[in-house]
Amino acid sequence: MQCSVSVSASPDKTQQQQNIQALIARIQQIQPNTIFLQAFADPDANGSADQVYFENRHITTRDNLFPQALSAIREQTQVQHIYAWLPLIAW
């Protein structure tokens, strides 16, 4: 299953947590064994990953949301494998 962290992102942290819980509910309903979790953002939609959803020293961090989503998926679902989806040639 492919999931986007972008749809969970919100400036309002309460809304952001509600969005993550909605993602969790969707995962629980579908019951996949593997998830590819999008870890990048392309806010200007030009095909280049301009920002990421995890802290690092090389690329601008949009919000440190990836670890939160990852933890929630691991704790609240039966998903066996979770991979970070990064477009390696898009930088």
Write the pLDDT tens digit of every residue in 2-48: 998 888 888 899 999 999 999 999 999 999 999 999 999 988 888 78
End-to-end CA distance of the chain: 24
Say how many C-beta atoms besides its own lie within 10 A of residue 6's C-beta: 16
CA angle 68, 32, 47 (to 5 degrees): 60
Across the chain, how many H-helices and E-strands are there? 2, 5
Q: Indicate the pairing of strand 40-41 with strand 51-52.
A: antiparallel
Write the pLDDT tens digit of every residue in 61-85: 999 999 999 999 999 999 999 999 9
Retrieve residue 19's tokens. Answer: 């969005």
